[in-house]
């Protein structure tokens, strides 16, 4: 609650000082998670990015035409693939987070007839909470099904995984950089956005000596629609 109050204060305080522009919007995008971890000496284990999604509700306040703050709430799926290249076992972890970012935005607006085009850069920080762990894939069974075919059959699965309080670190935070362009026609804005949002804490609690951490490191390609009012 304290964090939320702080973010709210940072967003709304400038409005008392400047007669700026308010914007609210809805967005969606695709995420790619470049998981940062180690497979040690086990070269047959490989991690690779796997697509996820994000949906977001955003609120922004531009207290000058070229500077603003932006926050909101996002559902972000961070997914990666684990594969054992020797056995052919494949697992896709799909981790869903709720996130609240705070961005400082800088715009370079220019006009083309009735359209205002605003390329932008943003930098910020975010906090998140991991509230769903889904996994799917296929694993080789231990047994065989036929004496005439001694290969292990594959077992396919798709399941939600219970969190383990001892091992799963569900709170996450990180920093971010973003760039994109806003195209405004009247009060309506269409945005194309690219952001990089690395996590600065591990999904794994430090529950053992030599814990091998897992850091999410995502990029997001997004589009959104916004409505603006004010100056």
Partner 1 sequence: MRRNMQILLAILAFSLSLAGCDIYEQEDPSTYSTEELFDAFWEGMNTNYVYWSIEDTDWDDAYDAYKANIDALAADYDANRAEIGREIAEMTEDLHDGHMNVSLVSSSSGYTYLVNPRLFQILSGMGISDPYAAYNYTTMENQTGGLSQADQQWKTANYDADDYTTLTESDYYSETSSRIYTYRTNDASSFDDSVSFTVPSTPTSHSSFYGFLGRMNVGTSSDPSYIVYITFNSFLFTECLDDAQVQAFYNTWLEWIADDTTAGIIVDLRSNTGGYVADSCYIWAPLISSGTKAVVGKTRRKTGENRLDYSTWTPYYVQGSGEETFSGKVCVITNTLTASMGEFSTLFLKNALGAYQIGGTTLGGLGVLYESADTSQEVFAAGSFDAGEYVNVYMAGKQFRAQDGTYVDGNGIEPDETVDYDYNAFTTSGTDTRYEAALTWMKTALGVS
Residue 5 makes contact with partner 1 by CB under 8 A: no
Nearer to partner 1, 135 or 170 (CB): 135
**From candidates 132, 198, 221, 230, binder to partner 1 by CB under 8 A:** 198
Distances (CA, A) of 125 to 6, 75, 99, 104, 175: 13, 16, 10, 9, 4
Smallest separation, CB 60 to partner 1 (Å): 17
Four-residue CA torsion sign, 59, 65, 69, 70: positive
Nearer to partner 1, 173 or 221 (CB): 173
Cα 55 vs. chain centroid, distance in angstroms?
9
Alpha-carbon span 93 to 77, nearest angstrom: 10
Quick note: the x/- pattern for partner 1 over 165-194, rule CB under 8 A, is -xx-------x-x-----------------
Smallest separation, CB 155 to partner 1 (Å): 4
**From candidates 6, 211, 223, 227, binder to partner 1 by CB under 8 A:** 211
Distances (CA, A) of 227 to 32, 132, 144, 186: 28, 31, 60, 9
Alpha-carbon span 45 to 90, nearest angstrom: 10
The window from 11-19, 50-58, 71-79, 151-159 that contacts partner 1 (CB under 8 A) reads 151-159
Residue 6 makes contact with partner 1 by CB under 8 A: no
Quick note: the x/- pattern for partner 1 over 23-62, rule CB under 8 A, is -------------xxxxxxxxxx-----------------
**From candidates 57, 139, 183, 190, binder to partner 1 by CB under 8 A:** 139
Residue 199 makes contact with partner 1 by CB under 8 A: yes
- b/e map of 83-113 (b: 16 or more CB within 10 Å)? bbeeeebbbbbbbbbebbbbbebebeeeeee
The window from 8-16, 26-34, 48-56, 204-212 that contacts partner 1 (CB under 8 A) reads 204-212
Q: Which residues contact partner 1 by CB under 8 A? A: 36-45, 67, 82, 84, 86-87, 89, 91, 104, 106, 123, 135, 137, 139-147, 150, 155, 157, 159, 164, 166-167, 175, 177, 198-200, 204, 207-213, 215
């Amino acid at each position: 609650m304290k964090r939320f109050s702080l973010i709210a204060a940072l967003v709304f305080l400038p409005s008392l000082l400047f007669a700026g522009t308010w914007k609210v919007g809805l967005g969606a995008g695709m995420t790619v998670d470049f998981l940062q971890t180690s497979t040690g000496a086990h070269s047959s284990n490989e991690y690779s990015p796997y697509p996820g999604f994000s949906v977001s509700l955003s609120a922004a306040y531009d207290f000058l035409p070229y500077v603003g703050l932006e926050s909101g709430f996002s559902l972000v799926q961070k997914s990666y693939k684990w594969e054992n290249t020797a056995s052919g076992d494949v697992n896709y972890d799909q981790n869903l987070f709720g996130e609240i970012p705070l961005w400082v935005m800088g715009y370079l607006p220019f006009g083309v007839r009735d359209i205002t085009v605003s390329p932008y850069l943003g930098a910020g920080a975010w906090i998140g909470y991991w509230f769903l762990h889904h996994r799917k894939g296929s694993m080789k069974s231990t047994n065989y099904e036929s004496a005439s075919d001694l290969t292990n059959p594959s077992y396919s699965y798709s399941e939600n995984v219970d969190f383990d309080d001892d091992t799963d670190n569900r709170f996450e935070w990180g920093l971010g950089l973003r760039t994109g362009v806003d195209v405004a026609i009247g009060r309506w804005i269409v945005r194309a956005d690219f952001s990089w949002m690395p996590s600065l804490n591990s999904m794994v609690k430090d529950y053992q000596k030599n814990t091998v951490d897992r850091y999410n490191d995502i990029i997001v390609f997004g589009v959104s629609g916004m409505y603006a009012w004010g100056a």
